[in-house]
Amino acid sequence: MFTAFLIKYAEIGVKGKNRYLFEEALVKQIKNALKRCEGRFEVTRTPGRIYVEALSEFDYDETVDNLKTVFGISGICPVVHVEDEGFEKLGQDIVKYMDNVYPEKNFTFKVQARRSRKNYPLNSMELNVELGGVILDAFPELKVDVHNPDVLLNVEIREKIYIYSETIPGPGGMPIGSNGKAMLLLSGGIDSPVAGYMIAKRGVKIDAVYFHAPPYTSDRAKQKVIDLAKQVSRYTGPIYLHVINFTDIQLYIYEKCPHDELTIIMRRYMMKIAEHIAKETECLGLITGESIGQVASQTVQSLAVTNEVCTLPVFRPLIGFDKMEIVDVSEKIGTYETSILPYEDCCTIFVAKHPVTKPNLNIIKRHEQNLNEKIEELMQTALDTDEVIVVNYEG
Ligand code: ATP
Ligand code: MG
């Protein structure tokens, strides 16, 4: 029945040149999402609205599901197209539409007609009244409510006539590519995929880095991170995933530094390396899944010590979230099931029984001096052996 979708987006704060960029980016992301769907589509833009029109048979559910992954879309309205064959035929089409879409006739409605073609014989007001009458004749159980209708039936007179009344909620946010790029530190846990999703939702393109520590972390752990990146890329588009071999750095820190400071020092080196790759790949910030107080390395003191190595801004969208709130999002975006698979991530192997929870920056820096002999060389080797995997969700 439906042959097109009207795409709604929130324009607040998006004006002038920014609005143009926003719409351009949104159209591009819609086209990308539609590539994953069966059928051919045309995406057209007129000021303030975007239409997706099917040019062939298509799978309605699949198409809606994919449009729901496009940040920037606030609502998806399925549209019925009819040819303009006079008012009487339009009345019949409208009655058929109401009957199909609302099998239960126990609601109030209002017709909202719009003419973008002024040569139509009735004006908008007349259309509202006349079509309202036709509907009431067909379904006397219905009532009109012009102030607060249950169903707002939109009828747009263009070349063809567009009829729609339902709005399926979109993900909101801003289209990818409208807000620069950032580097996500992606582990196999629950938090970092959610953090990446949340920053991407603000229009930020995402690349990712994973610190792998073979043989302490298995190939399955690496595959798990690739799978998570793939799930996140459903929303973000292709992700360049950098896999950094972190084993020698980790072992060196283990050998030279107090074990209760191992995690915090390790995290500082992860951030340093991630920032290095970020700067080489035009990323303007880093993203982590940290949340205050979740573990010893995420106390306010620990976060401050970790942060100290970075010059780029570090985005921590989960900073004030409880675990349950993070789990809710991960279930919603489909990463939870993968995240809870039991493979070791590189931090769990070396964790001390009693890690410092209030690290002192000066003491940490002093202990890092123990690494002077080899750390630069080890970091360089890690960067030189960066394995880049292009990850993309293909449906
Ligand atoms: P997550 O659920 O995201 O793994 P976590 O609760 O396990 O988080 P930590 O292990 O302390 O927390 O890690 C904090 C953040 O550091 C992660 O959210 C992630 O952004 C980053 N991180 C941790 N380990 C790695 C890793 N092996 N590779 C890349 N990033 C990592
Ligand atoms: Mg983790």
The string of pLDDT tens digits covering residues 264-278 is 999 999 999 999 999
Strands 49-54 vs 314-315: parallel, antiparallel or unpaired: unpaired
d(CA 202, CA 325): 19
Is residue 316 packed enough to be buried (19+ CB in 10 Å), middle (13-18) or exposed (0-12)?
buried
What mean pLDDT is predicted for residues 87-111?
96
Tell me how far the alpha carbon of residue 189 lies from the centroid of ligand 1, in angstroms: 7
Shortest-distance Cα residue to atom 2 of ligand 1: 189
- Structure-model confidence comparison of residues 325 and 45, the more confident one: 325
* C-alpha separations of 62 from 37, 167, 218, 243 in Å: 6, 16, 35, 32
Q: Whose CA is nearest to atom 14 of ligand 1?
A: 290
**Residue ranges of domains in the chain:** 4-169, 181-391
Average pLDDT of the chain?
Answer: 94
Task: Tell how far the Cα of 311 is from the centroid of ligand 1, in angstroms.
Answer: 19
To the question of domain 4-169 being in CATH 3.30.2130.30, the answer is yes
Q: Is the pLDDT of residue 354 over 90?
A: no
Q: pTM above the 0.95 mark?
A: no
pLDDT grade, residue 10 (50/70/90)?
Answer: confident
Q: How far apart are CA 141 and CA 236, in angstroms?
A: 46
Which residue lies with its CA nearest to atom 30 of ligand 1?
185
| Ligand 2 centre distance from Cα of residue 190 (Å) | 7
Closest by CA position to 132, among listed 333, 271, 124, 77: 124
Structure tokens at 221: 């752990």
Question: CB of 350 within 8 A of CB of 249?
Answer: no
User: Would you tell me the crossing angle of helices 323-333 and 219-236 to the nearest 10 degrees?
Assistant: 70
Using the predicted structure, report yes or no on whether residue 16 has a pLDDT greater than 80: no
Pick the CATH number of 181-391 from 3.30.1130.10, 3.40.50.620, 2.30.40.10, 1.10.10.10: 3.40.50.620
Q: Quick one: tokens of 145?
A: 């409510």
Mean pLDDT over 121-142 rounds to: 96
Q: Residue 48 has which token pair?
A: 């303030």
